[in-house]
Structure 1
Amino acid sequence: MLKKRIILLFLLSSLMSFAQHQIKGTIEPFSKDIKWAMLYQIKEGKQHYIKNTKIDNKSFYFEIPQTSSSGMYRVVYRLKGEGFIDFLYNKEVVSFTFNPDYPEETVRYSKSKENQIYKAYLQSALNGQQYLDSIQITYFKDPSPVAAVLYQEAYYELKDIQKQYQKESKNMLAFHFIQATQRYNSKTIISSPQDYLEGIKNNFFQHINFDDSVLVNSSFLVDRAIDYIFNLNYSQDPKTQKNLYKESVKNMLTIPKNTDLQKDLTEIIIEEFVKLEDVEMVKYILENHYKQLPAEQQSNLYIEKTLAKISIVLGELAPDFTWGENKQLSTLQTHKNYIVVFWSTGCSHCKKQLPELYAFLKDYKDVQVINVALEENNKEWTKLIPNFEGWENVLGLGKWKNTIAKSYNVEFTPTYIVLNANKRIIVLPDNYKELKDAVSRLK
């Protein structure tokens, strides 16, 4: 009998260890360009890959062990643009339907109490907030006592919504997000639009606990930081705008006491300014915030890569380099325009496009090519460079680790960069066709 019990317990534990929870999504309307879905877990604001699956008949599903940690997860279905949806997982089946072009606004959960209550809260809170804001805006135009009374009523209705959903979500994962999502509102109506905006800015993080591990291991803090910096600070004057950015970044990064979180948020904010090609702000944050982190949190490689990204920006001087017998990019004065090409003898696209480019440029006498080959050795390069007589042919040994390639942040070949006579970057074509179009417009 004892032996049978041991065997039974072993079988039960084995079955438990293989128990799975399903995460299922349905895309409506379906788009033929969507073929794969990738599942990630969000940790400290960054996505960590778990698995992928093919989309079949506009649906996809993942099975994950019931022992998988609770938190925020993400399904990515497009690699560019709005191509992901975040959801909560807390030891339950998650099933949802969404429009791929408007995932956040259209998602509907058929299974998952966590996501159903959080989604319902977001909609109720949004409706209540919009009504409150509409009264406030009306009051700016017509400060009547009636509007002030209506504002008070709407204010307490919104408070009741908050209390209701916090009570319903108690002991749930969603509670952490519901508590932190509530927005600051003045108890009484405000006369000045400026005071109204200042009140929101000064109290933006009032309900957010930066020590809450659930929030830290999600995209929530990142989203709020980006909202605060980029959506609450605007001026038509460029100088004022920069000062607003600097002030908001400083305010944001002084809140977290956890240095790991400070580092993560700093890097994420830097990446946002890299996307905007805001060279001044990237350098400012690196110097005044990133380099002020504890030494163990800093990385010279990260700084090097970040500076390389912003060196290749329209209007900036192209990174300088030398080759051959003391030839230097910055001192070339032979042509009106230059094209820096990064290619490789092992790249099939390069071997097709470069001869075409060579023939095309014969009609453009004021354009010179600096042709940088990223190679492990010179064997194939020596055979091919006679085909490009008249170009400046540069051998970049070390391939992707080559210093020239790193300074230009080259991630693929061929890469084309068009410069003017002063070696400022004037065009960053994505492909050969765009390069030809750009050259055709050169004067």
Structure 2
Amino acid sequence: ESANGKLVSAFIVANRPYIPTQYEDITTYSKNLKQHFLSQIDFSNYLLQSSSFLVDRVTGYVFNLVENPSNYTYKVLVDDVSKAISNDHLKIKTTLVEILWQRFVTMENHELANYITDTYLLDLANKSENKVLAETITSYKKTSVGTKAPNFEIASTQNTTSLHNLEGSDYYLLIFWSSGCGHCLNELPKVKELVADKTNLKVVAFGLEDEPTKWTEEIKKYPEFIHTVGLGKWDNPTVKTYGIAATPMYFLLSSSKIIMAKPYAYEDLEMVVKKL
């Protein structure tokens, strides 16, 4: 009551704890606590939107409310969050659901990230005309671990083929890199050394280039790699399909071009390759 008319009032109301009016066993209390956790929040309140409160509350609900959650449990919690936020508040709902999606991406939980995309986020991105978000989550889904890597043409002076038509190896390491990327030029020699004794693995190096002059010279250092160039660099269709936002980026593929791993850094790649 003393907070009425003050800025803090919105936070006090939104953070009102669940207090039983009579004795409840732990199961009943937990159920009521869960139902109460989001029910006091006015997601349209500008003050709450301008703070970290909504993010903390939503992520706390999904990731901290249940001990040892399964993917099924996570889906139920995500569903609860979506139901709690009205579609009338499109911008804040899109933002909060995207944060949940990003958290599962960071956890490398592809199933949950793609569940959020298919069930909520792609529709929200389209309704809010957020083309960048729609492209990002679609690219992630197409290149998730367990999916078949999108096909692309591989052109060389000898012949033209495609990723899916490559044969003769148990594994393929797909690298997106650029001759203008200092980090790439530092890591590619390490990759060459790392795979030197891996006769069951072939490297496919996709160069992101504005023009091919420097790339043509640089690939002479790696005659064992299968090279192809993507002109247009970040605007190249294959680069967009794979959602490449930085180089180098690695994808380990099976013989049938199923994505087995997406090592983020060279150290991660090293661990993956050494197990083959």
Same fold (TM over 0.5): yes
Q: How far apart, in 1, do the equivalents of 2:32 and 2:204 lie?
A: 55
Q: Select the structure that is richer in strand.
A: 1
Q: In structure 2, do the counterparts of structure 1 residues 250 and 362 end up closer, same or farther at CA, with 3 Å as the change threshold?
A: closer
Instruction: Write the mapping of 1:380-391 to structure 2, written as runs, cut at 5 A.
Output: 380-391=214-225
Q: Displacement, 1:368?
A: 0.4
Structure-2 residue corresponding to 1:245: 77
Instruction: Write the mapping of 1:284-433 to structure 2, written as runs, cut at 5 A.
Output: 284-293=115-124, 296-324=127-155, 325-433=159-267
Q: Partner amino acid for 2:187?
A: Q
Q: Structure 1 residue aligned with 2:9, among 157, 163, 175?
A: 175
Deviations 1:242-297 (A, max 9, x none): 5523532442234x632332332232233233333333433333343345559651
Q: Displacement, 1:394?
A: 0.8
Q: In structure 2, do the counterparts of structure 1 residues 333 and 242 end up closer, same or farther at CA, with 3 Å as the change threshold?
A: farther
Q: Structure 2 residue aligned with 1:218, among 39, 42, 51?
A: 51
TM-score (norm 2): 0.84
Contact 1:277–1:310 (CA<8 Å) still a contact in 2? Answer: no
Q: In structure 2, do the counterparts of structure 1 residues 185 and 296 end up closer, same or farther at CA, with 3 Å as the change threshold?
A: same
Q: How far apart, in 1, do the equivalents of 2:208 and 2:112 lie?
A: 32
- Provide the secondary structure at the position in 1 that maps to 2:47: helix
Higher RCO by CA contacts (8 Å cutoff, separation 6 or greater): 2
Q: Partner amino acid for 2:211?
A: N
TM-score (norm 1): 0.55
Deviations 1:347-382 (A, max 9, x none): 223234323433443322211010111100111122
Deviations 1:80-108 (A, max 9, x none): xxxxxxxxxxxxxxxxxxxxxxxxxxxxx
Q: Partner amino acid for 2:45?
A: D
Which structure's CA Rg is the greater one?
A: 1
Q: In structure 2, do the counterparts of structure 1 residues 401 and 210 end up closer, same or farther at CA, with 3 Å as the change threshold?
A: same
Contact 1:318–1:425 (CA<8 Å) still a contact in 2? Answer: yes
Q: Displacement, 1:236?
A: 5.8
Unaligned runs of 5+ in 2: none
How many residue pairs get aligned? The number is: 273
Deviations 1:52-80 (A, max 9, x none): xxxxxxxxxxxxxxxxxxxxxxxxxxxxx
* 2:101 is the counterpart of 1:270: yes
- More off after superposition, 317-326 vs 364-373: 317-326
* 2:54 is the counterpart of 1:231: no
Q: How far apart, in 1, do the equivalents of 2:120 and 2:196 lie?
A: 50
Q: How far apart, in 2, do the equivalents of 1:411 and 1:212 lie?
A: 34
Q: Displacement, 1:434?
A: 3.9
Deviations 1:366-425 (A, max 9, x none): 110101111001111222223222321010111122222223322322222222323233
Identity of aligned residues (%): 28
Q: In structure 2, do the counterparts of structure 1 residues 326 and 288 end up closer, same or farther at CA, with 3 Å as the change threshold?
A: same
Q: Partner amino acid for 2:227?
A: N
Unaligned runs of 5+ in 1: 1-165
Q: Displacement, 1:319?
A: 3.0
Contact 1:234–1:241 (CA<8 Å) still a contact in 2? Answer: no
Q: How far apart, in 1, do the equivalents of 2:68 and 2:220 lie?
A: 55
